[in-house]
């Protein structure tokens, strides 16, 4: 399901000039779905203009290597999402373990 991110007025002005707003694609997976997620990642165009956010169900305080694993299957940059970092199109963001997300 896609959602909208809160952006600043300056960002809104830039997007209004370009005629585009960011489109987020949220993907929720269980630990057993890694193979399907790797396959999906390998098939998605690296220049789709989409921002992918992957949320994996993990045990509390369990380390996540999802960003590293997905990075081997896509040409897009893959990294853990960080507070205060603005998501960019054509990137994949994974949610750090033991966190909740909001837009």
Whether 87 is covered by a domain: the verdict is yes
Q: How far apart (Å, rounded) are the C-alpha atoms in residues 27 and 7?
A: 21
CA angle, 37 then 39 then 93, to 5°: 45
The mean per-residue pLDDT over the stretch 28-55 comes to 92
CATH number for the domain harbouring residue 17: 3.40.50.180
Q: How far apart (Å, rounded) are the C-alpha atoms in residues 63 and 96?
A: 8
Residues 85, 87, 25, 103, Cα dihedral to 10°: 40
The structure's pTM equals: 0.75
Whether 45 is covered by a domain: the verdict is yes
> What's the domain range around 13?
9-94
The mean per-residue pLDDT over the stretch 40-48 comes to 94
Q: How far apart (Å, rounded) are the C-alpha atoms in residues 93 and 103?
A: 14
Domain count, the chain: 1
At residue 6 the predicted structure's pLDDT band, cuts being 50, 70 and 90, is: very low
């Amino acid at each position: 399901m896609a959602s909208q991110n809160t952006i600043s007025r300056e960002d809104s002005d830039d997007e209004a000039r370009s005629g585009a707003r960011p489109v987020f694609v949220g993907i929720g997976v269980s630990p057993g779905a890694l193979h399907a997620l790797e396959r999906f990642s390998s098939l998605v165009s690296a220049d789709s203009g989409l921002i992918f956010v992957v949320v994996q169900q993990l045990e509390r305080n369990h380390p996540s290597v999802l960003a590293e694993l997905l990075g081997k299957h896509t040409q897009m940059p893959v990294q853990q999402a960080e507070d205060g970092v603005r998501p960019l199109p054509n990137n994949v963001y994974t949610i750090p373990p033991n966190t909740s997300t909001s837009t």
